[in-house]
Amino acid sequence: MCGICGWYIQEPQAGFEEQALQAMRDAMLHRGPDEAGSYVSARCGLGHRRLSIIGLSDGQQPMWNEDQTVVVVFNGEIYNYEPLKAELESKGHQFRTHSDTEVLVHLWEDAGPEMVQRLRGMFAFVIYDLKQEIVFGARDRFGQKPFFYSWNDQQFLFASEIKSLLAHPAVKPELNPAALDQFLFYQFIPQPRTLFKGIHQLPAAHSFLLRGGELTLHRYWQLDYQPEPLADEVGQQRILGELRYDIEEAVRSHLISDVPVGLFLSGGLDSSYIAAVCHRVLDQPLSSFSISFPGTKYDEQEYAETVSKNFNLKHHVFRFDPGDLQTWLEKAIRFFDQPLADSAALPLMLLSEQTAEHVKVVLTGDGGDELFAGYGKHMRASQSSAFVRLMQSSLPSWFATGNLAACEADPIGRRRMTARLARWGLPEHVSGYFKNFWEGWDRDRLYQPEFREQIPVPLAAIDDMAADLERPHDVLNRMLQIDCGDYLVGDLLLKTDYATMSGSIEARAPFLDHQLAEKAARLPLNMKATTFETKVALRRLAQQDLPEEIFKRPKRGFGVPVKQWFAGELSGWLKTQLVDESVATERYFRREVVEKYLAEHQRGQRNHASRLYALLTFELWCRNYLS
């Protein structure tokens, strides 16, 4: 796990020298405290911060091929690097290191842009081919590793984090109003936008090629959601046997490391099953790590401890209290570069900082819900209303999320009624339309009138952005496609990467092994979710290894008791941030609307915790980046 940055320019110009590259690189010191490296030529600069995991003594970057004509900077892990290395050596390529990074330069020589099809891992990398004068890069299939860039036809700058781009004099922080509108509706900023005008995310499962002044992006992979036929008991047993083997093989590959590996253990089904598999494949017990919220419904310690005792794990527990929220929220804004209204990022940062005292690598259960259908909404997939679907086919624009969520007034409540009708009768709308956050008519009242004029209509909706994908025929897989393609990458994986990197540790998600994911996507529908059960296949497997109280547990999100704290211990502090000392309210929001939401929440009239938390994270972001 590392941090990468750099540029490519058409003509040499001031500001693109070693000093600027060092500033970009060292803005990400936390991503790679072990080593730093750089390369600068008239046109290209490549910077790297290293967290040593594999090839500890000889994995320095940037890394070259034999004749110094191809160079790479790389963030991530290539889990199949050993068979790839053996194959490339058989073709005459000469390796000088034991690092997985070196595979990339030789694979580029062998396969060109098609090299990404051969990679099994999590990655973001950039290759500069000096002979062909080509810059090529890619981001892994699920977007586990971040990649941001800026491009203006003359200069291409890239980095693992936005703060690195902002360290270069050519990049200035300026708010993107369309991205703010998306953030308030979704609570995260969907790819490819960022909250900064002119800075973009390279979408997951995409590569780019820069040649002759032209930048082209290419989607190189997508999940095939064509399910196998519904399976009888014999068929289910066969599928479960294959799935058990595939998960075990994915976990084995994710345990490859030259440093100690641990496990984030929540006590939920996903991380608990990863613990069970590790227990089967390892000769010695892992160390496990979890967070507690004493005295709240979010505290899952009894379940985590049950699992740790069951598998003889060396378990460590760390507390997160109300007073920690202020401290870690301010830290999160500095590390994350953009507001993320997912309060679980805060205890995850604390957990990562404490875990770093014990291990450098942790396994997680990320992706289990999105691949195996683990949310309560997935049980509703079979409950479509024929009447509502007929209305949708007759009035498609009425039901389009971009129109329903558009920042416009709704004086007679027609859009509100249609949105509720869609969520009731069209289950896939639950994955794309989030009613508990700032809906379109709420945002229309929230914005200052002058700023409201800068907001585009309709909203750029995540389910509309999936239009370039082959859409599944069934409702459940349409939901999963949106969950995997947007919420997983835009919220969960970004949160995990930034939070763990803030503590200088690497997180690995075995469920997101793409070969395992391809098989999970094609599971029969009755092995994903039914009207009464989520994660059918995974629960059936877990019965063989986990206590009943674990594998039968309903889904409980990893979160913070924000509702309780905003109405109690933190109510005064929250008002100070959002009203009395606010920067954002003065520029973008109407004070009386913010005060109304605060008062309703603190009196217990309505639960506005998610909306207020989004405003709070944006407020702190404004102070850090736009003041």
Q: What is the pLDDT of residue 54?
A: 67
**Does 291 belong to an annotated binding site?**
yes
Three-state secondary-structure class, residue 158: strand
Backbone angles phi, psi at 253, to 5 degrees: -65, -35
At position 190, the amino acid (one-letter code) is P
User: 233-374+479-551: which CATH topology?
Assistant: Rossmann fold (3.40.50)
Residue 403's nearest CA partner among 441, 376, 370, 451 is: 441
In the chain, where the domains are located: 2-174+202-219, 233-374+479-551, 382-473, 561-627
User: With 70 as the cut, is the pLDDT of residue 466 above it?
Assistant: no
**Neighbour tally for 607: CB within 10 Å:** 15
Considering only CA atoms, give the Rg of the chain.
Answer: 24
Half-sphere exposure of 35 (CA within 13 A, CB side): 15
Q: How high is the mean pLDDT of the chain?
A: 92
* Contact partners, residue 395, CB within 8 Å, separation at least 6: none
**Does 54 belong to an annotated binding site?**
no
User: With 70 as the cut, is the pLDDT of residue 22 above it?
Assistant: yes
- Which of 28-42, 496-510, 579-593 shows the lowest per-residue confidence on average (mean pLDDT)? 28-42
User: With 80 as the cut, is the pLDDT of residue 598 above it?
Assistant: yes
H or E stretch covering 77: strand 70-78
pLDDT band at 24 (very low <50, low <70, confident <90, very high): very high
**Any catalytic annotation for residue 2?**
yes
Assign domain 2-174+202-219 to a CATH class: alpha beta
**β-strand 200-201 against 148-151: which pairing, if any?**
antiparallel
The answer to whether 2-174+202-219 and 233-374+479-551 have equal CATH topology is: no
**Tens digits of per-residue pLDDT, 295-330?**
666 667 888 899 999 999 999 999 988 778 888 888
Query: Are the C-beta atoms of residues 393 and 511 closer than 8 Å to each other?
Result: no
As a whole number of angstroms, the distance between CA 351 and CA 505 comes to: 11
As a whole number of angstroms, the distance between CA 603 and CA 606 comes to: 8
User: With 70 as the cut, is the pLDDT of residue 513 above it?
Assistant: yes
Residue 350's nearest CA partner among 372, 376, 323 is: 323
Query: Are the C-beta atoms of residues 391 and 541 closer than 8 Å to each other?
Result: no
Q: What is the pLDDT of residue 465?
A: 66
